[in-house]
Amino acid sequence: MTTRVMVLNGPNLGRLGSREPDVYGSTSYTGLVERCTRLGEELGLAVEVHETNSELQMVQWLHQAADERIPVVINPGAFTHYSYAMRDAAAQRTAPLIEVHISNPYAREAFRHTSVIAAIASGTIAGFGLGSYELALRALAEQLVRG
């Protein structure tokens, strides 16, 4: 049986490849989707990758994940630092939730050092470029096997 997993991306992540390539790399958002779905197949996960600039949409996806017991890998983008609505939705999780960041927020501006989601996440992976998503999917697959 293949486990469904949601990979949720917040604001501006759909602009990967053109947005600050010195920070976020040159791989496009499409490239990220392909990497996540391909690795998911290898790990026996049915990975669905979503991106939104809407806090409402992110909260709705998190509610769906909680209601359907779907594990989540989330890069909240700028929502990381201030979205209590997203944090409260993520806190309702009924399956593992792993926070990811492409860059290392602690090596950047001070306002990026706070994550409202970190305390309710199963774990956080940051600073490994798009590899952060791959590490998160591998960690998630391992968590699911261990139960």
Binding-site residue positions for substrate: 75, 81, 88, 102-103, 112
CA distances from 137 to 38, 72, 115 (A): 11, 9, 20
Contacts of 52 (CB under 8 A, 6+ apart): 8, 9, 10, 11, 58, 61
DSSP 8: E
Dihedral over Cα of 117, 119, 102, 41: its sign: negative
**24 annotated active-site:** yes
**63 annotated active-site:** no
Q: Which of 50, 63, 82, 101 is catalytic?
A: 101
Task: For residues 91 and 84, give the distance between their C-alpha atoms in angstroms, rounded to a whole number.
Answer: 10
Strands 45-51 and 97-101: unpaired
Binding-site residue positions: 75, 81, 88, 102-103, 112
Q: Which of 24, 82, 84, 106 is catalytic?
A: 24
- Write the burial class of residue 113 (CB in 10 Å: 0-12 exposed, 13-18 middle, 19+ buried): exposed
Any idea which residues carry the catalytic annotation? 24, 101
